[in-house]
């Protein structure tokens, strides 16, 4: 499953960087056979060869503008450039990866008790496509939770240079907390006031690299201008005591991934 062993000393340094900067990178984590299997399964799911009831599909906006994204359309056919596919915890290959021993070691350094996941998502930027995703935070009332999650682990399934729309971060932007109580997209006036553009740091990665992202960290990504796909699998881990607070529909139940502390 892994390309190399990650010693505790390296993991501790990575977690220290994550806490201070709001993000951190572990290079050369997933083995090539693991990546090949996950990429093949991602293709099977987007093409409709493998299906699971309840999966969420969101196509990219033809304009490439985040503001023009459509919601609630579901699977649109095998040739659709999907931006996001949720509920990948339903698939045994993705499920095995998100609960692998290394990720448990990481999660245990942040969440010592029982752990659930808020979401397991494939973020896809098809060749010469991909919406521009503005500065945002993955928390706040928009997420409808009793407490904000803290930790996301993002696995690069493909190489993601800047030209392919790699993740860009605003280091240490997680420290002040939410830009607005709603969370989600950071208002333009807030980004201007924080001089976010001057602090933007592109994080190009190779397939198999793993990135830790604090939910309050401002991050974004651009379109994919290359001829290769750019796919990342991200999982948000949270304290199992976290509850869904939405009232318009039945509250969500979250899947437990790790039991109580070890």
Mean pLDDT of 52-64: 83
Q: Where are the alpha helices (DSSP H) in 48-187?
A: 92-98, 101-108
Residue 58 pLDDT:
83
Q: Could you give the angle at which helices 101-108 and 8-21 cross, rounded to 10 degrees?
A: 50
pLDDT at 186: 98
**Pair 224, 256: CB distance under 8 Å:** no
Compute the C-alpha angle 174/236/52, nearest 5°: 150
pLDDT on residue 246? 87
What does the pLDDT look like over 130-143, one tens digit per residue?
778 999 999 999 99
Q: Stretch 180-201: mean pLDDT, rounded?
A: 97
* pLDDT over 90 (residue 66): no
| Nearest residue to 151 (alpha-carbon basis) of 180, 109, 184 | 109
Confidence (pLDDT) at 249: 82
Residue 219: closest CA among 258, 150, 179, 171: 171
pTM: 0.94
Confidence at residue 68, expressed as pLDDT on a 0 to 100 scale: 58
pLDDT of 20 strictly over 90: yes
pLDDT at residue 247, rounded to an integer: 84
Instruction: Give the pLDDT score at 61.
Output: 75
Domain ranges of the chain: 8-60+78-258
Question: Which phi and psi (to 5°) does residue 200 adopt?
Answer: -65, 130
Q: Measured at the alpha carbon of residue 17, what is the angle toward residues 15 and 18, in degrees to the nearest 5?
A: 60
* Residue 63: predicted pLDDT: 65
- Is residue 76 pLDDT above 70, yes or no? yes
Q: Is the domain 8-60+78-258 a CATH 2.160.10.10 member?
A: no
């Amino acid at each position: 499953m892994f390309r190399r062993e990650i010693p505790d000393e390296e993991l501790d340094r990575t977690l220290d960087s994550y806490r201070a900067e709001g993000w951190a990178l572990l290079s050369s984590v997933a083995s090539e056979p693991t990546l090949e299997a996950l990429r093949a399964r991602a293709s099977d799911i987007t093409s409709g060869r493998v299906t699971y009831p309840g999966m969420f599909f969101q196509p990219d906006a033809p304009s490439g503008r985040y503001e023009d994204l459509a919601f609630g359309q579901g699977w649109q056919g095998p040739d659709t450039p999907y931006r996001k596919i949720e509920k990948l915890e339903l698939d045994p290959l993705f499920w095995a990866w998100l609960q692998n021993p290394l990720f448990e070691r990481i999660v245990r350094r942040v969440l010592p008790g029982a752990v659930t996941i808020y979401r397991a998502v494939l973020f896809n930027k098809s060749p010469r496509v991909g919406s521009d995703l503005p500065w945002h935070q993955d928390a706040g009332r928009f997420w409808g939770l009793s407490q904000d999650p803290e930790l996301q682990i993002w696995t690069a399934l493909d190489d993601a240079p800047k030209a392919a729309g790699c993740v860009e971060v605003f280091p240490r932007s997680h420290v002040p907390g939410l830009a607005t109580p709603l969370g989600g997209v950071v208002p333009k006036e807030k980004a201007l006031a924080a001089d976010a553009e001057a602090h933007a740091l592109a994080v190009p990665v190779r397939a198999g690299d793993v990135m830790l992202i604090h939910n309050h960290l401002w991050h974004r990504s651009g379109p994919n201008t290359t001829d290769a796909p750019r796919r990342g699998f991200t999982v948000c881990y949270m304290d199992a005591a976290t509850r869904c607070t939405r009232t318009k529909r039945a509250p969500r139940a979250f899947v437990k991934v790790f039991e109580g502390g070890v």
